Amino acid sequence: MTEKNRKNFSSQFKAKVAIESIRGIKTVNEIAQEFGVHPTQVGHWKKMLQEQASCIFDTVRGPKPVGPSASQDRLYSEIGRLKMELDWLKKKLGSADPEDTG
């Protein structure tokens, strides 16, 4: 007995076939023949895409929530950086002679 190797299709390929099927320009058989898959598979991928399409838009946009400890660490590092800049500016402005600026 010889074993047949199953074809593994990428998710991009499946999406492309399913979208082509949803468009409705060609029949399922035409799409299956064009992409080299079984017509039943085209219908299955189309159904999967239609069922999961609403999940695509469920994600919330914007910055991802960060744990409280990470936020606190980030703030402390920002405070340290700003303090160093302030000290440097005070030193630079303190060493400048006011009578020379004239």
88 against 54, higher pLDDT: 88
Residue 36 backbone class (left: φ over 0; alpha: ψ -120 to 50; beta: rest): left
Mean pLDDT, the chain, whole residue set: 84
- Where in the chain are the domains? 11-56
Lowest mean pLDDT among 41-45, 51-55, 59-63, 98-102: 98-102
For the stretch 5-46, pLDDT in tens is 888 899 999 999 999 999 999 999 999 999 999 999 999 999
**Cα gap 18→30, rounded to integer Å:** 13
